[in-house]
């Protein structure tokens, strides 16, 4: 009797082992949907058919494509079977007339279905609606070298994407041309620029990325070894510029320019800056800024660009990102242009911190998805390159 009971028990377990997996897989899994339309934002435009749209998932620092589809005749698309798990966010990407478009980043939270439309535009090779709304040139000093950071806010008042007309490399057109001063070195794109889309010129560089309707901010830095107590900075403006401002350390330096108006000195007793400004400058204008009394030899001192933040905040020249940077800097986070690191390992650690901060901004929706992806890609490439250098150096030992 006992043997029969044991045999029956074993047999029951075997049957359950066959049934339970099928019961588990048969249970419906909670899944979300994203639906929407691709709309043509150019005047007279309607829904756009036969456009490929992809959905991308971001979670835990990892990004994956989760689906691809083409819009129907009425411009609609649908993605289903997406995870509702907290911490996962999604964005859409579409390619129209060779231009990439990205949606805002969204999360399901307590919803199972999200509506998310994408606006695209016709293209143009005419730059008549494109101008520079604001252009700021910030200068710092360190051991006979000018540390310069430029911030430009571009504005496209039209309803078409400006893609340029002159081909500068196969498949790349000149969209924005920017000049740099003579002897400029250590050029670094900081925001709104991608290394793959930059073409070097004799007097600076060309950006081949399109300019969509609305505003776009770009930021870059470089160094100039001025070589004596006098230096003449020359820049040509290749786009119509509504306003341009120069901020220069006020340490006995004299600055003048026929194209700029001296607006006085600003800052605090420890760090003051000369402010020169120009308004409504035509395309093709050349600014020549003469600097005299630059520290040289025994008179060298250090005045970093980051010291300008206090001045900017009090001079009406601030941007939202400056306020955010200042708050982060005070809490020990990465800044716009912090001090150079002593070793590759230090620089790699700093990059990792910056990537983590960038991820936080992305997950909270405080940064444009396109800018986030381009900047993160650049940072990751730099981390990989530094890692390779460290490994090669270690293997040599």
Higher-pLDDT residue of 235, 310: 235
What pLDDT, on the 0 to 100 scale, is given for residue 191? 87
Query: Pick the residue with more confidence: 12 or 245?
Result: 245
Statement: the pTM of the whole predicted model exceeds 0.95? no
Same fold, 32-121 and 130-322: yes
* Contact indicator for 55, 79 with CB cutoff of 8 Å: yes
Query: Average model confidence (pLDDT) for the chain?
Result: 80
How far, in Å, are 1, 44, 45, 99 from residue 51 at the CA level?
72, 18, 14, 12
Model pLDDT, residue 315: 47
Tokens of 3: 């043997």
* CATH class (in words) of the domain with range 32-121: mainly beta
Residue-range domain boundaries for the chain: 32-121, 130-322, 341-397
Write down the pLDDT at residue 397: 42
Instruction: Give the confidence band of 5 by pLDDT, cuts at 50, 70, 90.
Output: low
Give the 3-state secondary structure percentages of the chain, helix then strand then coil, rounded to 5.
25, 40, 35
Q: What per-residue confidence (pLDDT) applies to 228?
A: 87
pLDDT in tens, 250-276: 888 999 999 999 999 887 777 788 999
pLDDT value for 327: 43
pLDDT in tens, 24-58: 444 445 689 999 999 999 999 899 999 999 999 98
Q: Taking 90 as the threshold, does the pLDDT of residue 358 lie above it?
A: no
Q: Does pLDDT of 296 surpass 50?
A: yes
Answer yes or no: is pLDDT of 373 > 90. no
Q: 344-351 — which CB contacts under 8 Å span 24+ positions?
A: 344/386, 344/389, 344/390, 345/386, 345/390, 347/386, 348/383, 348/386, 348/387, 348/390, 351/379, 351/382, 351/383, 351/386
> Which numeric CATH code is attached to 130-322?
2.60.40
């Amino acid at each position: 009797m006992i043997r029969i009971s044991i045999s029956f028990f074993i047999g029951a377990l075997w049957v359950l082992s066959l049934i339970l997996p099928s019961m588990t897989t048969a249970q419906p899994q909670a899944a979300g949907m994203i639906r929407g339309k691709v709309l043509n934002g150019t005047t007279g435009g309607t829904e756009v058919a036969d456009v490929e749209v992809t959905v991308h998932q971001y979670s835990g620092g990892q990004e994956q494509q989760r689906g691809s589809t083409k819009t129907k005749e009425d411009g609609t698309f649908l993605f289903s079977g997406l995870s509702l798990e907290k911490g996962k966010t999604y964005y859409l990407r579409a390619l129209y007339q060779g231009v990439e478009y990205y949606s805002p980043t969204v999360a399901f939270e307590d919803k199972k279905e999200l509506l998310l439309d994408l606006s695209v535009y016709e293209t143009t090779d005419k730059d008549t609606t494109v101008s520079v709304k604001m252009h700021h040139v910030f200068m710092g000093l360190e051991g006979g070298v000018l540390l310069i950071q430029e911030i430009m806010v571009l504005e496209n008042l039209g309803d078409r994407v400006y893609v340029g007309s002159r081909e500068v490399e196969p498949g790349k057109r000149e969209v924005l041309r920017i000049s740099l001063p003579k002897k400029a070195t250590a050029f670094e794109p900081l925001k709104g620029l991608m290394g793959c889309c930059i073409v070097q010129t004799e007097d600076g560089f060309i950006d081949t990325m399109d300019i969509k309707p609305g505003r776009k901010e770009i930021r870059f830095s470089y160094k100039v070894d001025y070589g004596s107590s006098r230096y003449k900075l020359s820049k040509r403006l290749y786009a119509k510029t509504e306003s341009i401002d120069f901020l220069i350390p006020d340490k006995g330096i004299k600055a003048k320019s026929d194209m700029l108006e001296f607006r006085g000195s600003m800052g605090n007793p420890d760090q003051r800056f000369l402010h020169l400004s120009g308004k409504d400058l035509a395309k093709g204008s050349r600014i020549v800024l003469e600097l005299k009394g630059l520290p040289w030899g025994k008179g060298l001192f250090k005045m970093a660009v980051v010291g300008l933040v206090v001045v900017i905040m009090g001079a009406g020249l601030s941007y939202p990102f400056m306020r955010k940077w200042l708050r982060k800097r005070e809490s020990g986070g990465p800044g716009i242009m912090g001090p150079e690191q002593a070793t590759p390992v230090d620089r790699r650690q700093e990059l990792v911190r910056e990537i983590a901060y960038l991820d936080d901004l992305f997950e909270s929706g405080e940064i444009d998805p396109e800018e986030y992806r381009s900047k993160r890609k650049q940072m990751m490439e730099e981390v990989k390159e530094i890692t390779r250098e460290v490994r090669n150096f270690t293997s040599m030992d």
